[in-house]
Amino acid sequence: MSRPARIAFIGCGMIAGEYARTLAASSEVTLAACADANRDAAVAFARQHHVPRVADMADLLDPAATDIAAVLTPPASHAPIAHAAIRAGIPGVYVEKPLATSPSQARDLTQAAAKAGVLLGAAPDTILATPTQTARAAIEAGVLGRIVAASANYLTPGPERWHPRPEPFHAAEAGPLADMGPYYLTSLTYLLGLIECVVGASTDSQLYRTIRAGPRAGQVFTAGAPTHVTALLRTANAATITFTASFDLAGTLSPHLEIHGSKATITLPDPNFHAGEVQIRMAGDRHWQPLPPTTPAITPVGRGMGILALADVLQGRQSAFACTGQSAAHVTSVIDTIYRAAAAASTTALHVS
């Protein structure tokens, strides 16, 4: 493929704008078309980002005109739209997180893509940026020694403090774990390997939420998912991970990600973003130092790097692809298993004299 890869956006919401800005800075792809359930939104998006064609989704899913379909719609529609793109024979399909809302849906997607010979990718793509690439290079070089443990913390007061319509973040299929967990769990599995054992606990101590921003400020709604979830995970390499995701806490000084090895510990910045410094503290040292950054293989940097990486594979410039559908399906299974483990958790009472 000597020409730039032709990208079609399905979904023209807020996240699509971030993707468009990243793709516009690359000569390897072109944003050729867009669609949205609200055609007016698609027209406005096309005008703002200089997209030459607005069409219905069915018209976009034509392999003669589209090389990569980017599914940027709400989570519940990810699986059916991705399936439609696969059936249409689009060479590459890239899905915003989560890949699907259940492990069975995610598994069906990866199997359908493999059978059709379609390259399936999924967000998050922050693992392609400098912080995670820097950490991976240090781990692979043995700087940390044997990996012993890790911790991950997403601890916030909840989206209702800033979002005028926060209910979807608290829907039954969302909550802090399903909404933000993919960023943390994708980074952890990319750095430490697949997760094979899960223990979970959850609470909904702040079930009733008050909207703090926008015209509906002061209105109260009910959360449909656990608002505070803690998991203990073990990787196939026997490293243990503690992960807490919460919409209930005022704040924290805990690092977003911390990885402990027999020789050193590193901390990583927020995996929801593509920038930040990795810090390292060697065993026996009293001070933290910045870890020399690793230049990412994919540029420009930002949301949409995963699409650029997928285009590189389709165009033969790269053979390896990190943001795979299989990886995203594994993360979907981990999130589901945490929820199920938390719901089924048994407790042992202690005698207090």
- State pLDDT tens for residues 239-297: 999 999 999 999 899 999 999 999 999 999 999 999 999 999 999 999 999 999 999 98
Q: How many helices (H) and strands (E) does the chain have?
A: 9, 15
Q: Which SS3 state, helix, strand or coil, does residue 159 take?
A: helix
**Domain contains 331:** no
**Domain contains 109:** yes
**Domain contains 232:** yes
Same domain, 179 and 259: yes
Q: DSSP readout, 116-137? A: HT-EEEES--GGGSHHHHHHHH
Same domain, 195 and 265: yes
Q: What is the mean pLDDT of residues 109-136?
A: 98
Backbone angles phi, psi at 177, to 5 degrees: -70, -50
**Cβ-Cβ contacts under 8 Å for 254 (sequence gap 6 or more):** 151, 153, 155
Domain that holds residue 278: 130-295+336-340
Q: What is the mean pLDDT of residues 226-242?
A: 94
Same domain, 181 and 260: yes
Question: Residue 353 has what pLDDT?
Answer: 43
Same domain, 271 and 193: yes
Q: What is the DSSP letter of 77?
A: G
**Domain contains 219:** yes
Same domain, 150 and 279: yes
**Domain contains 346:** no
Same domain, 147 and 177: yes
Residue 129, both tokens: 């940026």
Q: Which SS3 state, helix, strand or coil, does residue 250 take?
A: coil
Residue 309 contacts residue 128 (beta carbons within 8 Å): yes
Higher pLDDT, 77 or 205: 77
Answer yes or no: is pLDDT of 302 > 70.
yes
Same domain, 200 and 255: yes
**Domain contains 350:** no
Answer yes or no: is pLDDT of 188 > 60.
yes
Q: What is the DSSP letter of 162?
A: T
Same domain, 42 and 167: no
Residue 245 contacts residue 176 (beta carbons within 8 Å): yes
**Domain contains 107:** yes
Same domain, 142 and 246: yes
Backbone angles phi, psi at 293, to 5 degrees: -70, 145
Question: Residue 273 has what pLDDT?
Answer: 97
CA distance 328 to 323: 7
Answer yes or no: is pLDDT of 109 > 70.
yes
Question: Residue 203 has what pLDDT?
Answer: 87
42: nearest Cα among 9, 3, 15: 9
Question: Residue 204 has what pLDDT?
Answer: 82
Q: How many domains does the chain have?
A: 2
Q: What does the mean pLDDT of the chain come to? A: 94
Backbone angles phi, psi at 275, to 5 degrees: -135, 165
Question: Residue 343 has what pLDDT?
Answer: 87
**Domain contains 347:** no
Q: DSSP readout, 219-274? A: -EEE-SS-SEEEEEEEETTS-EEEEEEESS-S---S-SEEEEESSEEEEE--TTSS
Same domain, 36 and 134: no
CATH code for the domain of 265: 3.30.360.10
Q: Which residue has the tokens 């379909």?
A: 69
**Cβ-Cβ contacts under 8 Å for 76 (sequence gap 6 or more):** 101, 173
Same domain, 134 and 121: no
